[in-house]
Homo-oligomer: A and B are copies of this chain.
């Protein structure tokens, strides 16, 4: 089983998780950590680490999904991943790209990563227009 932490600026993480749960139902070992308000980078790091350690008791791997490259959420996730060898950090996530991997979390980290990367390659659809 893969544990999943969604992190990012303001309410992007909790907003993304609320949509995932509306579409796919509630899921085990998935958490959203919003970086907002008076939180410091250290506060965020501590929350990421605490959640990782809790998930790590039940999960073979933990994936941290970040909103954008750079910025405090990505930087703190990257820092944590250097401390533990079963953390993978992705950034630039879209809800569209998450749907398929999130319902296949029991298939292991290689398959989760493959599904996430393949789904993200679909990119954006422009309704009624061809994208070249």
Closest Cβ neighbor of A18 among chain B residues: B10
> A18 near B23 (CB under 8 angstroms)?
no
Q: How many copies does the complex hold?
A: 2
What sequence of 0s and 1s flags, for each residue 51-95 of chain A, a beta carbon within 8 Å of any chain B beta carbon? 000000000000000011101001001100100000011111111
Closest Cβ neighbor of A82 among chain B residues: B128
Q: How many A residues face the partner with a CB closer than 8 A?
A: 48
CA distance A69 to B127 in the complex (A): 9
> B19 near A126 (CB under 8 angstroms)?
no
Q: Find chain B residues with CB under 8 A from A89 CB.
A: 126-128
CA distance A116 to B18 in the complex (A): 24
Q: How far is the CB of A111 from chain B (nearest CB, A)?
A: 14
Contacts A14-B11, A36-B22, A127-B81; is A69 near B88 (CB within 8 Å)? no
Q: How far is the CB of A91 from chain B (nearest CB, A)?
A: 5
Q: Find chain B residues with CB under 8 A from A124 CB.
A: 90-93, 97, 116-117, 120
